[in-house]
A and B are shown apart, each in its own frame.
Chain A
C-alpha cells in the first residue's frame, strides 16, 4: 500500500528557530530521507513553503475564486509530506514516527487510492 505522510507543525516555532537549529533539523531530514530511500519505502516527498504563501482556489457558478491563505486557521500547518510504500498501517506508522517533525508536530498518515495502470493509460490516450 502507499501512504501519504503529512507533516504538520507550528510555523511560529520554525520562524523563531536559530540557524543552527534549522541546520540540525535539515540534516536530520536528509538522514531520514536517505534511510527510507535505501529501505525502498520512499516514493516521493518535499518540504512546503509556509502557509502564508498559500492560495485557496474554488470554482463556484463557473467563476474561479482565489483567496489568500489556507482554507482553515489551525494551530499546526502543513509543512511537508512524504509518499511511502508500506506493507500495512503499522509499518507506515513506524516510518512516520521516525520523521523528525513527529517529535514536535503531528504526522497525519493517509492511505492512498492507487489508480490502476489501465486507468492511467486510458487517461493518457484521452489527453
Chain B
C-alpha cells in the first residue's frame, strides 16, 4: 500500500504520512461502518487524498510564508475574532515558533514577533525600543536572512522540546509586556501600546494551545498588571506606589478576567510554573480593597513557592517586601542587609529604594535619606527619579 502511495504521490515522506492517516481513519471508521468491500483500495484512496491535502497545505504555507517573511510590509494584522480553519491556526502557531526560535537573538525574536505576528510597522517597533527605524529594519532583514540561510524550520516543535520552546515564546511575549509596563529606557513611564500587543499575543497563544497552565498564567499576569496600569501614575504622569494608588481607577473587568484565568491555571497545580505563581500574586494584589487589607501572608507564601521554582535575588527582594507587611520593617531590614551583603544586587536600584522605604518605616530618617540618595544615583529613568525624589521629600526636612 505504501509503495502504491509513493508512486501516486511522488514523495516518500508525504506518502508515509498519508498512509498513517489512512490507517488512523480506518481504525476510527471501520468499527462503525464495517470493513469496505476493497479495504486496500479504500486505504490507498484515503491515503492519497490525505497526502494531497498535506501537499496543498504545504504549498499554501510556503506561499504564505514567502509573502509573510519576504514582504512583511504587506501582511495584514491577524484578526482573532475571525473564525479560522484549523490549518490556518496551525500555520500561525508554526510562524510564532519560527519567530521565537532560539537560534535568533532575543532582540531579533522580539522584533520579528511584533512585525510578523502582530503586524506592527517597523517604525512603531523602532520607536518602542528607542532605536532608529533603519536599525530596526536592518535587524528584521538580518533575522529573516538567518531563518532562510540557517534552515530554521516553520514547524511546531516536536513534543520532546515543545515545553522549552514554548517557554522561549512566552519569554518573548513577557519581554514585550515588561518593556511596555516598565520601559528600560526613555522618558515615558509606560508604553501601553506594547502592553496591548503582548496581551494580544498572549491571547493568540492561549487560543492556539488551549489549556496550557503557563500560557494561561502569563496571560493572567499581563491582564492583572495591565488592569492597574492607569492607576500607576497620577494626573501629572508621576509614578505612584501600590499603597498610594487610587484603586477605583483599576480596570475591574480585566482583573476579573485575569483572576478567572489564574483559577483555571491553578486547577492543575502540578503544571503551574513561574508565570502562574506570579499571576496568583498579582491577583491577590488586584482583588484587595487596599494595601493594608491585602492577604500578605499568602503573598509571602507564594513568593516562597516562586523562589523555589526560580531562585533569583530579585524574587528574594520581592519576598522581603511582602515579609515587611507581615513581620514588620525591622525583620525585613535584617534579611535585606543579608541579601545586599551577597552582592548579587549591587547597583540594582530597587534594592536601594526598598532599603530606604524600610528604613523610613522604622523611623530611621537619616539613614533612609542616605539610601534614597544612593537609589537616585542609580535611577536611569526620569519617572523613577521623580518617584524617588518625591519619597525623599515626604521624609520632611533633614
Contacts and interface: CB of A to CB of B under 8 A. Distances in A.
A123 B151 CA distance: 27
A89 B150 contact: yes
B153 interface: yes
Interface string A30-61: 00000000000000000000000000000000
Contact of B103 (A1, A86, A87, A89): A89
Highest count of chain A CB atoms <10 Å: which of B101, B149, B150: B150
A111 B150 contact: yes
Interface in B100-120: 101, 103
Contacts, number: 26
Contacts of A90: 152-153, 155, 157, 161
A111 B151 contact: yes
Contacts of B161: 90
> How big is chain B's contact interface, by range?
10 to 19
Interface in A69-127: 86-90, 92-93, 109, 111
A92 B103 CA distance: 12
A89 B161 CA distance: 14
Contacts of A109: 150
A111 B155 contact: no
Given A89-B103, A90-B157, A93-B103, A111 B152 contact: no
Nearest to A110: B150
Interface in B124-164: 149-153, 155, 157, 161
Contacts of A93: 103
Contacts of B101: 89
B79 to A, nearest CB: 30
Contacts of B155: 88, 90
Contact of A92 (B149, B151, B157): B151
A88 B103 contact: no
Interface in A3-17: 3
Contacts of A88: 151-153, 155
A111 B149 CA distance: 7
Nearest to A91: B153
A30 to B, nearest CB: 25
B56 to A, nearest CB: 20
Highest count of chain B CB atoms <10 Å: which of A1, A3, A89, A109: A89
A48 to B, nearest CB: 24
Interface string A13-25: 0000000000000
Highest count of chain A CB atoms <10 Å: which of B150, B151, B153, B161: B151
A90 B157 CA distance: 8
A89 B153 CA distance: 7
B273 to A, nearest CB: 23
Contacts of B150: 89, 109, 111
Question: A-B pairs with the 10 shortest C-beta distances?
Answer: A88-B153, A88-B151, A89-B151, A1-B151, A89-B152, A89-B150, A90-B153, A111-B150, A111-B151, A111-B149
Interface of B: 101, 103, 149-153, 155, 157, 161
14 contacts: A3-B151, A88-B151, A88-B152, A88-B155, A89-B103, A89-B150, A89-B153, A90-B153, A90-B157, A90-B161, A93-B103, A109-B150, A111-B149, A111-B151
Given A88-B151, A89-B101, A93-B103, 16 more contacts: A1-B151, A3-B151, A86-B151, A87-B153, A88-B152, A89-B103, A89-B150, A89-B151, A89-B152, A89-B153, A90-B152, A90-B155, A90-B157, A92-B151, A109-B150, A111-B151
